[in-house]
Chains A and B, each alone.
Chain A
Amino acid sequence: AQSVSQHNHHVILSEAASLELGCNYSYGGTVNLFWYVQYPGQHLQLLLKYFSGDPLVKGIKGFEAEFIKSKFSFNLRKPSVQWSDTAEYFCAVTPPGNQGGKLIFGQGTELSVKP
């Protein structure tokens, strides 16, 4: 079945460590790609998105993601994490040809940053 996969269920880092969260999708064709974040007790909110153009996308709070078409991947990165980055991170895809923009989410990665 076509899907979105996030490789890590739970990642634990110390402050100032670098972060990379993996995301792969299995859809062929042109997709729109997203990373959403849910901080404890808060709503899901958009971190960044990619539709076309430069495959390196910069988002809020120092996050960036790189689209690698040949690998069907859209990994999220941050050079130096902070305690406040503790949250759950979701990768999402809008499937090819979908005009309405429905999102297909991965299962999420919980990030815990130790102060």
Chain B
Amino acid sequence: QVQLQESVPGLLKPSETLSLTCSVSGGSVINSYWSWIRQPPGKGLEWIGYIYYSGYTKYNPSLKSRVTISVDTSKNQFSLRLNSVTAADTAVYYCAHIPQFGYYFDYWGQGTLVTVSS
């Protein structure tokens, strides 16, 4: 069974860059799609983007100008970078697995809270 673990980014100030890594165990990043999803406090889920192990990416249009998702097959992990953060980017960030031939998220990380505050 695939297990996902997000890194802990700490507190960010406005305009800084958010960097998160999702470590994958119990499976390989190869031949799979992987995604980032976030949830502001007390609000619903927002899809950020996904990546295929080959490097193909798709992003939420509302975040596309600030987001980069990458994958490192040698470390069996994938990463999220979000530039120029503001308080509106404060959220719990989840990494998730997309099954082959599936259009949903079957495994999720526990989530990591990112707080943006001056």
- The answer to whether A binds B is no
